Amino acid sequence: MINDDEKSVGILFLSILDSKSTIEECIKKSGLTADKISTLISIPKFNKYFEKETNKELHITCKIDWICEEIGNQIKISDSESQILKETIDDKFLKHVTKYWEENGRIKRDFEIKNLSEWIISEYVFLSGFAMWFREKEKDNGTDLSSLLSSATGESVEASASIEFDQDRLRLVSEIPTQILEKIMNINPAGKIAYRSLDMAVMKAMSEGNPELAKKMKNETVRNKRSWWKFW
């Protein structure tokens, strides 16, 4: 259950993510009251999200260094790997959410089902699963499907294809080294689900256009008494 403060802090963070805002500007962008905003930025556990600057008036900016720290708390990485991850997040995060989380001119998420941290970490986990799939199968500017088809049919098969996918979306994790990416993918089941969903989508498309392939896949499933597409 996401409490009211968690919902509100998510709304405030995303609404002012790309700017330095006064309280009045925060009210206009987030729809929250001045009292609510003042309360949120004063709660110690939310200090990691906001930087407060006071000159003639209070200005609030969002911090994103906590994202690297949050991921680092869930996987084992070295200090040098953590620095690479931090630099990638600093460079890619804002561009990504501005493009993919924008709705009617505003960056939004549904904070009824996940809090701010859960949404952001899940995005990294999910896209890491997709990115790992392409990295493992990337070959000569195409996608090598040989191991996937061989596993599904029980035969040695050589195959490659050009897979249509929004590669721009993967820019969020494109500069994260593979050894770190794999760890992020395994933080929770979303990464494996993303990875396996590409397997399933590709094989479904190929089997629908090739009855002989579909028959071989079915026979292999019967022989092993286990579907090739099990998530784990």
Residues 34 and 126 in one domain: no
The pLDDT of residue 36 is: 98
pLDDT tens by residue, 39-80: 999 999 999 999 999 888 999 999 999 999 999 999 999 999
**CB of 12 within 8 A of CB of 26?**
yes
Give the percent of the chain with pLDDT over 90: 68
Q: Which residue has the higher pLDDT, 124 or 218?
A: 124
Tell me which of 141 and 59 has the higher pLDDT. Answer: 59
Gyration radius of the chain over CA positions: 22
Is 206 inside any structural domain? yes
User: What pTM did the predictor assign?
Assistant: 0.88
Look at residues 43, 63, 83 and tell me which one is the last residue of a structural domain. Answer: 63
Q: Domain range holding 177? A: 67-224
Q: How far apart are CA 128 and CA 88, in angstroms?
A: 13
CATH number, residue 47:
1.10.10.10
Residue type, 98: T
231 within a domain of the structure (yes/no): no
Alpha-carbon distance of 62 to 65, in angstroms, equals: 10
Please give the tally of structural domains in the chain.
Answer: 2
Instruction: Tell which wins on pLDDT, 155 or 116.
Output: 116
Shared domain check, 55 and 149: no
At 140 the pLDDT is 61
